[in-house]
Amino acid sequence: MIITLKPETPSEAADALLARILDKGLRALHMPGSDQVVLGALGEASAVAELALDTHPHVESVTPILAPYKLVSRELHPHDTVIPLGRSAIGGRDFCVIAGPCAVETPDQLRATARAVKKGGACALRAGAYKPRTSPYSFQGHGPDGLRLLSETGREFGLPVATEVMEIADVDLVAAHADIVQVGARNMQNFALLKALGRIGKPILLKRGFAARVEDLLLAAEYILAEGNDQVILCERGIRTFETATRNTLDLAAVPYIKSRTHLPVLVDPSHGTGLRDLVLPMSLAAAACGADGLLVEVHEDPARAWSDGEQSLYPAQFDTLMAKLGALLPVLGRRLA
């Protein structure tokens, strides 16, 4: 419930209302605006109704939040969330390109790729140290050694780093090395993991599950915000459909839809979304055109020798072309490369 107080409501009256909301076992939100204070009461509908706030003398209006997700919804928070990242930001005017290999492989591979994406203008370096692989016999990632190598390489090239966490037990270690902690598609509804990530102070990159509806994604994000971490970045990375020509079906219509429903920034991953490197450039431009706040894109210094996802990884020269084209397109859209 969104409770708008009348202009000039004394702050003691707002505090008393917040205390009443809390007394009911509800979550209370205090959102002071320039001329009016807005409060929020989240929780059981019956407990909210018992407050009878619409008859309170200092209350101007009481509006239910219709969406099943609350903290994530634009109804509660009309303005875009902007998440600071290094010298740039995710959301707002900035369009942020997070690029790098699928996985941390070797020091030389990571450094060469980091150098290439830095030169191309990436705002952050991505690489997995924990890899969720379909087959247990595929490379699973270097774990803690990979995290150390990633954070050292990020520092060397002045790039913030994004990397995936798969288990609650690894959250603190991953958060200590990463600037952005990624939740992969396979873990989008690992609610215990989401809750644990809601209790850390790092931005979370939440990827859409390949069988998840947009509402499922937004409710998954709600788990993180409900625990106190409001730095969540959503990522459309393709869903499973009957189509087999591409690895997944990149659901770009979801991008403007999601942005109409939530204030959180939305990235697009055209690499996992298509599985084909030649489709990464056109789908990246389309992602920018439909309002995405940035990209998560796989680049490898030598894709033919990549330990995972080589066929969807860009060559450095292709990454340069992508960034040049984005640089030309973004101003038309009122945005700029972060």
User: Which span (23-31, 78-86, 101-109, 176-184) binds Mn ion, by CB under 5 A?
Assistant: 101-109
Select the residue interacting with Mn ion from 17, 157, 309, 318 (CB under 5 A): 309
* 115 touches, from Mn ion, ligand PEP, none (C-beta below 5 to 8 Å by class): none
Query: Closest distance between ligand PEP and the C-beta of residue 184, in Å?
Result: 3
Helices (H), 178-236: 191-197, 214-226
Query: Closest distance between ligand PEP and the C-beta of residue 185, in Å?
Result: 4
Task: Between 128 and 270, name the residue whose CB sits nearer to ligand PEP.
Answer: 128
* 147 touches, from ligand PEP, Mn ion, none (C-beta below 5 to 8 Å by class): none
Nearest Cα residue to 37 out of 68, 72, 8, 70: 8
178 and 162 in contact (C-beta within 8 Å)?
Answer: yes
What gap in Å lies between CA 188 and CA 181, rounded to an integer? 13
Task: Between 11 and 138, name the residue whose CB sits nearer to ligand PEP.
Answer: 138
DSSP line for 39-106: EEEES-HHHHHHT-GGG-TTEEEEE---SS--TTBTTT--SPP-EEETTEEEBTTEEEEEEE-SB---
Number of residues that bind Mn ion (CB under 5 A): 2
Q: Which residues are CB-neighbours of 152 under 8 A, at least 6 positions away?
A: none
Query: Closest distance between ligand PEP and the C-beta of residue 7, in Å?
Result: 47
Q: Is 102 in the site for Mn ion (CB under 5 A)?
A: yes
Sites of contact with ligand PEP (CB under 6 A): 102, 128, 132, 164, 184-186, 207, 237, 269, 272
What gap in Å lies between CA 228 and CA 289, rounded to an integer? 32
Query: Closest distance between Mn ion and the C-beta of residue 101, in Å?
Result: 8
